[in-house]
Amino acid sequence: MEINKSTTKEGSNLRRAIIHLLFAALFFSLMTFFVRLSGDLPTMQKAFFRNFFALIIATAAIFKNKVGFSIRKGNGISVLCRCVFGTSGMIANFWAIDRLGIADANMLNKLSPFFAIIVSFFIMSEIPTRLDILCVLMAFGGSLFIIKPSTGIAVIPALVGLYGGFGAGAAYAFVHKMGKTGQPGKTIVFYFSLFSCLVTGPFMVFNWHPMTTSQWACLVAAGVCASGGQFNITAAYQNAPAKDISVFDYTQVIFAAILGMIFLSEFPDVYSLIGYVIIISAAFIKWHKAKKQP
């Protein structure tokens, strides 16, 4: 019996992408945890350190693996869009967290998979199946049980937080588009981190707030975790379409809840537990579909 090599490769890439996205969710939950522990610092100062260490690690990785800094022909606009949407979305999310609270801001940011699917349709004509839509809706519904958004969100901060979700989703869509052309993920992370540091650096310098030793440690840890998350999420969206893997991004909520229980004495209520079950169920359905591929 002849095995379709193309189908086998697609199935392998999908499973690899899911694993990368799960690691990204873990690293990003740790990043959020350390950013929260860093205390009351300006948004741009937090955002700068979130990418500064990723820039160092990405640069070292490029030299170690000798992949170079070149952008493949036809990817210039995609790299720029990834940088602009990713950076603006990150800043918007950080700004919203300071004004809405972590729960409401994260809820708005978790709309990013929906935006990724929408943007992917326009830039790559990727059409999600009914099962794809169902699983993403299940995961989103589960996240609402966990986050429990309030009804009194101020209009402007909420719109800024909503843009944070759009910026992240659009950035991931362009990452996947570049992945199809073979653009090295380390190069994509390098230019995103460099662009973000150049944007946030001047604001940080002119509005610098002195930090304690513990705050420095937290931001260093946040930067390292952000780097791990960035490399993994870049690899994930390079290997598979947003419609096939975006549901696994919601596991970040579960990882964050575990960190909260262990280190912050924050225990989930019955609504959160319902949300966990829904998210895990949606993830299992998607994983089962991926396993059925050769």
CA pair distance 116, 218, nearest whole angstrom: 30
**Both tokens assigned to 53:** 């260490």
**Both tokens assigned to 70:** 């070149």
Is 215 part of any domain?
yes
138 near 278, Cβ under 8 Å? Answer: yes
CA pair distance 124, 109, nearest whole angstrom: 23
Element containing residue 18 per DSSP (H, E): helix 5-37
Is 2 part of any domain?
no
**Both tokens assigned to 205:** 């310098």
Is 208 part of any domain?
yes
**Residue ranges, the chain, pLDDT below 70:** 1-10, 100-104, 106-107, 146-155, 242, 266, 290-294
Q: What's the pLDDT at 28?
A: 86
Is 45 part of any domain?
yes
CA pair distance 189, 13, nearest whole angstrom: 20
Q: List the domain range (segments joined by +) for residue 111.
A: 9-292
Residue with tokens 């975006």: 246
Is 3 part of any domain?
no
Is 1 part of any domain?
no
Residues in Cβ contact with 250 at an 8 Å cutoff, skipping those fewer than 6 apart: 25, 110, 113, 139, 140, 142, 143, 279, 282, 283
Residues in Cβ contact with 256 at an 8 Å cutoff, skipping those fewer than 6 apart: 29, 32, 33, 106
Is 14 part of any domain?
yes
Is 213 part of any domain?
yes
- pLDDT, tens only, 63-100: 888 888 888 888 889 999 999 999 999 999 888 877 76
**Both tokens assigned to 290:** 């991926």
CA quadruple 199, 203, 206, 211: dihedral sign: negative
Taking each helix axis from N to C terminus, what angle separates 270-292 and 5-37, rounded to the nearest 10 degrees? 160
If one counts the domains in the chain, the total is 1
CA quadruple 92, 94, 100, 106: dihedral sign: positive
Select from 174, 170, 163 the least CA-distant residue to 79. Answer: 174
CA pair distance 84, 56, nearest whole angstrom: 20
52 near 100, Cβ under 8 Å? Answer: no
User: In the 8-state DSSP scheme, what is residue 264?
Assistant: S
